Chains A and B, each alone.
Chain A
């Protein structure tokens, strides 16, 4: 008996690209540009993309071996034990929630600049409420519609980049000389943020028409993102002075205004809105499903496992996230410290990629007989390089931003303490309740 499979490669690529493409990506792209000389940001972005391809290969091996919607949690658990997997997953999900804060800061400023009748705070609440409502009702955008939106955004960005480059013809400054090695490493490290989320396509493994589409899709998506971001960033820095871009929370709008005037601003606002809503939606789905699954295994309070009887969505987890993201976003809006969230996301993503590389190495030794439909070629070279390179990149980000380092260390300690001290109590309580129910039955 065969399983019904419906998703083509086109949808896998669109989903992977769509998950990574966010309004805050352009802020990160400008940060990348600030670490290198002249207009050489494209080099750092392409290197970050190639490195993400190494991580994509490792994800592909793990996903082929253990395909599951539980993804990372399952792979890390099999490699390093359930305690480590839960600790890392809790921290990762907390940082993903933080990305919503950074994203809402950027998009609310864009919307408030274009449609001036509402303040950024109102835009934040409205957008998050809209996505929460969609999630509560279990509304999913159809595959074809998602494809259409993602490819429309990509094409628009390509056209804008090409037009921008054409307008600034001949004004590229040292496009082949990125400057100091230290600066280049930091640029690549922050560049990892541009690709955050491409791997979340892995849980679709059992819905695709061919399992190999996942690995191919991730590689194609990272390739498209690399070229797209590289072109757009160079177009931005060639047309708008870097000093202006770096201090702006909406650099893409500055560029659009300089290149195409008011029409460009409206166009960019529409693109950014589409990208942000997709990011909010993906973040809310991923984190709420994680909370649901974690509560079902009694590692979070059982209230988070409550599902809507009508829509079969984890409504308590979704509403909790709504409150958390609104508070976080308003906090970011108030303090203006959105870059610390970008750096934390870049660092935790690098840590996760390094752990994924390590998991490939561990599982090859620990479970050599598990069938591997996709095997990373070249023996241990790719996973080893992935571990070392992403370990170095995580350090590079955290050395640059000590506040991000402090928050991540605190988060890690908190997550570890929770897993060690609170989770056993929750599980014991659940076990007793189960026994009591049995006795009653």
Chain B
């Protein structure tokens, strides 16, 4: 595993995350009223993506788009592994390698979504 992932690698893992989400009808139904914008940015390379959740549908955008409700910040390799389900978010979150900024209940919801997509 490389220490630095490329922007394309992060894009690829985010796409698999979005696909995993949109394949899950239960998740879509549960998040129908949870409209949020999540900025995902790497600390070691120039890479920004935006996840937009509207009416239960999740879409991925390159770069930034408007005001974020949540920001997810980490090293590029961690972001790649996180969104592809290689690792769970809790441990890097608790040791500070992963920063998720936003309201606590939104952070828990995002964690729950990753749990539903990738398992424990």
Interface on A for B, CB 8 Å cutoff?
1-4, 66-70, 73-74, 77-78, 82, 138, 140, 203, 206-207, 289, 292-293, 296-298, 302, 305, 307, 309-310, 312, 314, 430, 433-434, 437
Contacts and interface: CB of A to CB of B under 8 A. Distances in A.
Nearest to A78: B96
A69 B67 CA distance: 21
B41 to A, nearest CB: 9
Contacts of B102: 3, 206-207
B21 to A, nearest CB: 15
Nearest to A297: B90
Given A138-B105, A296-B111, A68 B93 contact: yes
Interface of B: 26, 30, 39, 48, 50, 64-71, 88, 90-91, 93-96, 99-105, 107-109, 111-112, 115, 119-120
Of A67, A77, A78, A307, most B-chain CB atoms within 10 Å: A307
Given A70-B94, A437-B119, A312 B68 contact: no
A78 B108 contact: no
A297 B109 contact: no
18 contacts: A1-B65, A1-B66, A2-B67, A3-B68, A3-B71, A3-B102, A4-B69, A69-B107, A74-B95, A78-B95, A289-B104, A293-B93, A302-B120, A305-B115, A312-B108, A312-B109, A433-B120, A434-B120
Contacts of A82: 94-95
Contacts, number: 86
A297 B92 CA distance: 9
Contacts of A70: 93-94
Q: Which 3 A-B pairs have the closest CB atoms?
A: A1-B64, A296-B90, A297-B90
Given A67-B101, A296-B88, A74 B96 contact: yes
B105 A3 contact: no
A1 B67 contact: yes
B107 to A, nearest CB: 6
Contacts of A292: 108
A203 B101 CA distance: 10
A393 B12 CA distance: 54
Contacts of B95: 74, 77-78, 82
A359 to B, nearest CB: 12
Given A203-B104, A307-B108, A434-B120, A297 B94 contact: yes
Of A77, A297, A302, most B-chain CB atoms within 10 Å: A297
B94 A312 contact: no
A367 to B, nearest CB: 10
Contact of B120 (A66, A207, A293, A305): A305
Of B90, B100, B102, B111, most A-chain CB atoms within 10 Å: B90
A2 B50 CA distance: 12
A67 B101 CA distance: 8
A302 B120 CA distance: 8
Nearest to A293: B90
A309 B119 contact: no
Contacts of B119: 434, 437
Contacts of A77: 94-96
Nearest to A2: B67
Contacts of B94: 70, 73-74, 77, 82, 293, 297
Nearest to B88: A296
Contact of A3 (B90, B101, B120): B101
Contact of B105 (A297, A312, A430): A312
A309 B99 CA distance: 25
Contact of A68 (B91, B99, B108, B109): B99
A307 B114 CA distance: 13
Contacts of B70: 3
B68 A1 contact: yes
B96 A68 contact: yes
B62 to A, nearest CB: 13
B113 to A, nearest CB: 10
B76 to A, nearest CB: 18
A58 B18 CA distance: 40
A302 B88 CA distance: 13
A29 to B, nearest CB: 31
A116 to B, nearest CB: 39
B70 to A, nearest CB: 8
A283 to B, nearest CB: 16
A156 to B, nearest CB: 30
Contacts of A433: 120
Nearest to A311: B105
B39 A1 contact: yes
B96 A66 contact: yes
Contacts of B69: 3-4
B30 to A, nearest CB: 6
A309 B29 CA distance: 10
Given A292-B108, A293-B94, A4 B68 contact: yes
Nearest to B94: A70
